[in-house]
Amino acid sequence: MAVVVRTYARTEQSILDRYAGIGVATVHEAQNRTGLLAPRVRPIFDGAHIAGSAVTVSVAPGDNSTIHVAVEECRPGDVLVVSPFAPSDAGYIGELIAIALQARGVRGVIIDAGCRDVQILRTIRFPVWASAINAFGTVKETLGDVNRPLVCAGQLINPGDVVVADDDGVVVVPRLEASAVLEVSIARDDREAAVRQRYAAGELSLDVSNMREKFAQKGLTYLDDEADAP
Amino acid sequence: MAVVVRTYARTEQSILDRYAGIGVATVHEAQNRTGLLAPRVRPIFDGAHIAGSAVTVSVAPGDNSTIHVAVEECRPGDVLVVSPFAPSDAGYIGELIAIALQARGVRGVIIDAGCRDVQILRTIRFPVWASAINAFGTVKETLGDVNRPLVCAGQLINPGDVVVADDDGVVVVPRLEASAVLEVSIARDDREAAVRQRYAAGELSLDVSNMREKFAQKGLTYLDDEADAP
Amino acid sequence: MAVVVRTYARTEQSILDRYAGIGVATVHEAQNRTGLLAPRVRPIFDGAHIAGSAVTVSVAPGDNSTIHVAVEECRPGDVLVVSPFAPSDAGYIGELIAIALQARGVRGVIIDAGCRDVQILRTIRFPVWASAINAFGTVKETLGDVNRPLVCAGQLINPGDVVVADDDGVVVVPRLEASAVLEVSIARDDREAAVRQRYAAGELSLDVSNMREKFAQKGLTYLDDEADAP
Amino acid sequence: MAVVVRTYARTEQSILDRYAGIGVATVHEAQNRTGLLAPRVRPIFDGAHIAGSAVTVSVAPGDNSTIHVAVEECRPGDVLVVSPFAPSDAGYIGELIAIALQARGVRGVIIDAGCRDVQILRTIRFPVWASAINAFGTVKETLGDVNRPLVCAGQLINPGDVVVADDDGVVVVPRLEASAVLEVSIARDDREAAVRQRYAAGELSLDVSNMREKFAQKGLTYLDDEADAP
Amino acid sequence: MAVVVRTYARTEQSILDRYAGIGVATVHEAQNRTGLLAPRVRPIFDGAHIAGSAVTVSVAPGDNSTIHVAVEECRPGDVLVVSPFAPSDAGYIGELIAIALQARGVRGVIIDAGCRDVQILRTIRFPVWASAINAFGTVKETLGDVNRPLVCAGQLINPGDVVVADDDGVVVVPRLEASAVLEVSIARDDREAAVRQRYAAGELSLDVSNMREKFAQKGLTYLDDEADAP
Amino acid sequence: MAVVVRTYARTEQSILDRYAGIGVATVHEAQNRTGLLAPRVRPIFDGAHIAGSAVTVSVAPGDNSTIHVAVEECRPGDVLVVSPFAPSDAGYIGELIAIALQARGVRGVIIDAGCRDVQILRTIRFPVWASAINAFGTVKETLGDVNRPLVCAGQLINPGDVVVADDDGVVVVPRLEASAVLEVSIARDDREAAVRQRYAAGELSLDVSNMREKFAQKGLTYLDDEADAP
């Protein structure tokens, strides 16, 4: 019932590093609009942008003992992903755990629950994406699992998957698809860079992406007089 | 069913510019506590303050095609106002559309739905008031209308109406009342400036606004001993 | 029905001042995880940290007349605590009341309802913890009580109690326990300072707090092969 | 500011009566998926199904005085539609008002706010669709308008529009489109009756509605072995 | 920290019994619109109506051990009132506890948290007002208090207070005011009975309660032509 | 991207039938408080109780085309489990689909989204557990998958898993554990039957389950005088 899996494949560091410059929206589109965690999981400060290999932690509601267990399993480049068995917005993550994680090279925490000591976490710039900010404390009575498949904020996350997080939210990419999705993401970013120039120069997406004919076929009608509207 | 109305009256630029310095709370009070959008519509960064002429856009849930259509209709001084037919918090507005709007002189976007790429929008200082931050993407299959009367976050907005937005939220003023409400707003601001001085100097609103007698008549009672309380 | 209690014991200024450096999470733990207001009450800007003696104000929904009455009762070191009889997120607190409170030395406002003029309140650095930001105005028809026991965001608060607020939220400490809880809080902070050093140096909480044996007894199992997991 | 409009066109009784047998979902589809009120507005008992001509009432938050004014304006076949200026879930409608409305032949109430005395309303079978059940009382200080255009639960409703409500929710049909939408609704119901028979006999919508080819073109793939899935 | 207070005054059975026929809305109005619990606390079946003397129980989030302790403290005519230290919607109350409470003559349970086994509770007609229906189980590790002052769904409740609950929700009356509030409630009910007759006969509240003049003074205006509206 | 897996193992009918008499709360406890779907998924009528083998369906937000595809895959004893890629409460399931499913022997539908035509579904007694009742219609443009692993209301569900649903909510049991969990559930039910008798006879859980000593060790204290409380 309380298991720590110690042997599993992480996504390679070189792949993780290339993800770090790519936005969550881009990655989400690159894998066909999948993998996005529910938008209730928000960063505790603006401007953080990380990518890491998931260490998954299931916790009992209101109990952070399993997070203490998980710290030992973390390596540089990891991201801790925490989800309670049942909804609970207590503050499972605070200053002390953040310092311990930072000392081990962990890039951040994703938690579908509460975080506290946020004033300090902002000062030490340890990024946490949480569904609540809440000082309410936890107990240490009931253990969950570390590095087992985990549903967090509506997405299935396996240990070793890529997790990317920025101000838009959090997206997960399955480890075996990490390389392919990365290439699609980069290609998409390149394509958008070209488009961005044209839009900034005043061109319209209707023209750049040839939408006019398609929309006309769908019945789009331009009226000079509102009185003609149906 | 998918109509773009091209001929309608905008609020004059000179009136819009005078609104820009006036807070949303003041405008809302000046028109007798009406016109305020639901408070779920929040700015994606602090400190923005805009006033513009509304371009109204109804979108199908999870579909941003009509926004692409609307960009072409925008002129300097406009504000894009977007509402889906049914609640949906996908990310309809992102970097590319923002750049296209900014290139056309649009002052900002009001959307009762999601926005994404917020890290970039903050950098380029393009203000969006949205009811969610969400990277979830949209499709381009079903068209809505541009510049037809629109209900957005609980308020009826017509194309050409004045929209004022700041950190408190968003308020709409009907175009034909724009001038009158502006005068009341300015008068209110002037009155408050005088009161502010007196409060800062330690005077009480009970005295400045003569509330003491009214409240005494309503039965307000001062007790020295809590044991006398009912 | 509308009573202002003028004689009650405040927590001593010297105790309040020593609380100001202590985080909400610490105080909450120091009194056995009690006293925390519901996390919907959030600061309107980051980085504020106050402790004060509660002035309690009950208001009718959508009516801020009692707040005007309460201003007169405030002294330096006080914190205004406001709760409506029934849920209502109108904007009861704005610039003018904030200036009046600031002029009297009030350290901040806690309100389980809405606040407005936040752009200005951020500029003058008057901290408010509120459950909504909302420009919607209030009337002045129905009076509530000042300095009577009050339930605010789920906690009972008496006039003169200590209220501590920071970016994590708000906690109340009963006046008669203020001194004892302060000592426990300081002791806890000191203990954590020592632990922080050890974590930063790479030690694990599993070792520092001797959790390994306890968790093993609870059945924690380490697996090298996921296939062995239940 | 507080206006009762007494002269406006109601939808004809004969049209209203024909709507009464048609479900909300059907009417909503018949007008191209528009007109549906937000689903937070729920019936206080199951099985009611009404159609009526809207009497629109805007109320101040927490104040039901305008409802008392509106009762006098009601005639048999009307439905009272109530929306507060700002969200507020107090109990604006209770037994006494229900009895007064029932005495005037009103078919029910739609309110984007609270209702109380529901045990009695269920007994007398007076149907109310409300966004809350709440005993919290209201005051009688501030008046709103009767029979002016009103936004209720996200939809614009004009006096005299058709309102249809059943266990699925509430939909509004503009008065001038009432007849046309009725014909489309009836045609749709007839079509569905035929389809219902075929489905009940085991036929598939894929065949009845010829979806197979369209879906194949969209790339739908049938796999016998999950291992072949992407 | 975990205390059971055994000696306290209950409200007399004779008073409780007279409350049982009076609606929650009436009681709430009779004590000046105070004492109503938040409307998220809903009955698990329609038609129950109880009044009892409160046994107050604070529970740790996700832990129902204190409820087991509280059962022993209950006597016929009591109502169990349960609130967790922090929001948590697990299922603290189920069939077994209900049967034990029923065996001791307890009239029902009020809980600002979850209830389960509702199919059975409906069958045995044991009424529970809960803020969630949720099968999620609880542990038995951390104790709270029994019969200490408790905040439940926003209201302060003391052991021995009167709790009245029906389909509208739940209201608390302080024990020492139980008799006085009862008289006001009964008088109010009598008054409403007379009014009900007049409304059913077609009289208007505008006339019965003399509102016409008051509303005219507030500026209420009747228009025959909408075009005259402001 | 749009895949229907046709070959997978269902849970045996004989096991499903034995689950049908067992409550969701019992099954959830029998597998160590796991597998429960979020409590927002509620039955559309009281008293339904089903167990079936999951057919999993992922749908695009606001698009029910994949449900039409899934109907063909269903056999007697199945339960359809539907989840949109992103939160969306449109009405994906209505009368026609229900009739088609009923014709194929499907026992019910679990959907983390909206359902409509509930008046009819109640009449034909086709049970649906949904997170919303909403008449808002869907389109048929974008396909999802059938019988691939699915996250629904926070739980991972594989095709062929057991789904049990009653008035308390919905729980999933992995197919390979179906038999073992069934035995534990039955044993638990038997144990509770014995306890139920003792509670009904007035015995206390404190005694039946020997909690007194454990709670005393945790510091539980009985006071005759509240004044002695801390």
Distance from the Cα of residue D226 to its chain's centroid = 45
Using 50 as the pLDDT threshold, list the residues of chain F that sit under it.
Answer: none
**Cα distances (Å, whole numbers) of residue C58 to B221, C83, C127, D26:** 14, 5, 20, 47
Among F29, F58, F85, the strongest candidate for a mutation testing the A interface, having the largest count of A CBs within 10 A, is F85
- Report d(CA C157, CA E174) in Å as an integer: 18
CB C217 within 8 A of CB A2: no
| Chain E CB within 8 Å of residue A139 CB | yes
Least CB-CB distance to E154: which of C1, C32, C151? C151
Percent of chain B, pLDDT > 90?
A: 94
| Chain D CB within 8 Å of residue E217 CB | no
How many CB atoms neighbour CB D176 within 10 A?
A: 12
Q: Coil, strand or helix: which one is A153?
A: coil
The structure tokens 């409403």 sit at E192
D142 contact residues in E (CB cutoff 8 A): 218
Least CB-CB distance to F3: which of D36, D171, D229? D229
Residue A226 confidence (pLDDT): 73
Least CB-CB distance to C202: which of A6, A68, A103? A103
8-state DSSP, E75? -
- Report d(CA E109, CA E72) in Å as an integer: 15
- Report d(CA D133, CA E40) in Å as an integer: 9
Residues whose CB is less than 8 angstroms from the CB of residue E201 and which lie 6 or more positions away in sequence, other chains included: D103
Least CB-CB distance to D169: which of F3, F134, F142? F134
**CA-based angle F19:F20:F21, to the nearest 5?**
95
CB E125 within 8 A of CB E44: no
E33 contact residues in C (CB cutoff 8 A): 85-86
Residue B1 has pLDDT above 70, yes or no: no
Are the beta carbons of B60 and F62 separated by less than 8 Å? yes
Residue A1 has pLDDT above 70, yes or no: no
Mean pLDDT taken over chain A: 96
Q: What is the ipTM score, two decimals?
A: 0.95
E155 contact residues in C (CB cutoff 8 A): 151
User: Can you give the three-state secondary structure of E182-211, one letter per residue?
Assistant: HHHHHHHHHHHHHHHHHHHCCCCHHHHCCC
Distance from the Cα of residue E189 to its chain's centroid = 18
Are the beta carbons of A117 and C229 separated by less than 8 Å? no
Take residue F197 and report the two structure tokens written for it: 């008798």
8-state DSSP, F149? -
Take residue E108 and report the two structure tokens written for it: 């029902």
**CA-based angle C115:C117:C118, to the nearest 5?**
75
* Per-residue pLDDT tens digits of chain E, which is 230 residues long: 699 999 999 999 999 999 988 999 999 999 999 999 999 999 999 999 999 999 999 999 999 999 999 999 999 999 999 999 888 899 999 999 999 999 999 999 999 999 999 999 999 999 999 999 999 999 999 999 999 999 999 999 999 999 999 999 999 999 999 999 999 999 999 999 999 999 999 999 999 999 999 999 999 999 987 777 76
**Helix runs in D108-221, H state only:** 118-123, 178-200, 205-208, 212-217
| Chain A CB within 8 Å of residue C201 CB | yes
Nearest residue to E116 (alpha-carbon basis) of D193, F39, A150: F39
Are the beta carbons of A23 and B119 separated by less than 8 Å? yes
Strand segments, DSSP code E, in chain D are: 3-5, 42-43, 50-59, 78-84, 91-93, 108-115, 128-133, 150-152, 155-157, 162-166, 169-173, 221-223
| Chain D CB within 8 Å of residue E220 CB | yes
Residue F178 confidence (pLDDT): 98
Least CB-CB distance to F154: which of A1, A33, A154? A154
Are the beta carbons of B134 and A200 separated by less than 8 Å? no
Residue A86 confidence (pLDDT): 86
Q: Coil, strand or helix: which one is F174?
A: coil
Least CB-CB distance to D61: which of C61, C85, C141? C61
Are the beta carbons of C61 and D88 separated by less than 8 Å? yes
Residue pairs between chains B and C whose CB atoms are closer than 8 Å: 124
Residue B225 confidence (pLDDT): 77
Q: Coil, strand or helix: which one is D195?
A: helix
Take residue D101 and report the two structure tokens written for it: 């409305």
Are the beta carbons of B200 and C104 separated by less than 8 Å? no
Beta bridge partners of residue B59, listed in sequence order: B84
Min Cα separation C155/chain E (Å): 7
Least CB-CB distance to D88: which of C85, C88, C141? C88
Mean pLDDT, each 10-residue run in order, chain C (230 residues): 93 95 97 95 98 97 96 98 92 97 98 98 98 96 96 97 98 98 97 95 96 96 82
Residue A230 confidence (pLDDT): 66
Residue pairs between chains C and E whose CB atoms are closer than 8 Å: 24
Residue B20 has pLDDT above 90, yes or no: no
CB A199 within 8 A of CB B103: yes
8-state DSSP, A36? B
The dihedral of CA C11, C15, C20, C26: what is its sign?
Answer: negative
Residue D41 confidence (pLDDT): 98
Residue pairs between chains A and E whose CB atoms are closer than 8 Å: 34
Take residue A47 and report the two structure tokens written for it: 């401007």
**Cα distances (Å, whole numbers) of residue C61 to D82, D88, E224:** 19, 9, 34
Q: Average pLDDT for residues A117-141, to the nearest whole number?
A: 97
| Chain F CB within 8 Å of residue E161 CB | no
Min Cα separation C157/chain B (Å): 15
Residue A5 has pLDDT above 70, yes or no: yes
CB E218 within 8 A of CB D66: no
Q: D179-229, pLDDT tens digit by residue?
A: 999 999 999 999 999 999 999 999 999 999 999 999 999 999 999 877 777
| Chain A CB within 8 Å of residue C189 CB | no
Q: D126-158, pLDDT tens digit by residue?
A: 999 999 999 999 999 999 999 999 999 999 999
Nearest residue to D230 (alpha-carbon basis) of A31, A170, A183: A31
Phi/psi at B48 (nearest 5 deg)?
A: -75, 150
Are the beta carbons of B133 and A196 separated by less than 8 Å? no
| Chain B CB within 8 Å of residue F62 CB | yes
Instruction: Report the neighbours of B using a cutoff of 3 or more CB pairs below 8 angstroms.
Output: A, C, D, F
Are the beta carbons of B151 and D149 separated by less than 8 Å? no
| Chain B CB within 8 Å of residue A210 CB | no
Amino acid symbol at A113: A
| Chain B CB within 8 Å of residue F133 CB | no
| Chain B CB within 8 Å of residue A86 CB | no
How many CB atoms neighbour CB A20 within 10 A?
A: 13
Nearest residue to D145 (alpha-carbon basis) of D126, D158, D127: D158
Residue D1 has pLDDT above 70, yes or no: no
- Report d(CA F152, CA C92) in Å as an integer: 41
Residues whose CB is less than 8 angstroms from the CB of residue E203 and which lie 6 or more positions away in sequence, other chains included: none
Least CB-CB distance to B139: which of F87, F89, F141? F141
Instruction: Report the neighbours of A using a cutoff of 3 or more CB pairs below 8 angstroms.
Output: B, C, E, F
| Chain C CB within 8 Å of residue D128 CB | no
More confident residue, B227 or C178: C178
A92 contact residues in E (CB cutoff 8 A): none
The dihedral of CA A39, A43, A45, A47: what is its sign?
Answer: negative
Nearest residue to A62 (alpha-carbon basis) of F181, F33, C163: F33
Are the beta carbons of F200 and E103 separated by less than 8 Å? yes
Are the beta carbons of E85 and C149 separated by less than 8 Å? no
Min Cα separation B139/chain F (Å): 9
Residues, chain D, total? 230
Among B36, B199, B208, B213, the strongest candidate for a mutation testing the C interface, having the largest count of C CBs within 10 A, is B199
**Alpha-carbon torsion, ordered C10, C15, C20, C24, to 10 deg:** -80
| Chain D CB within 8 Å of residue B218 CB | no
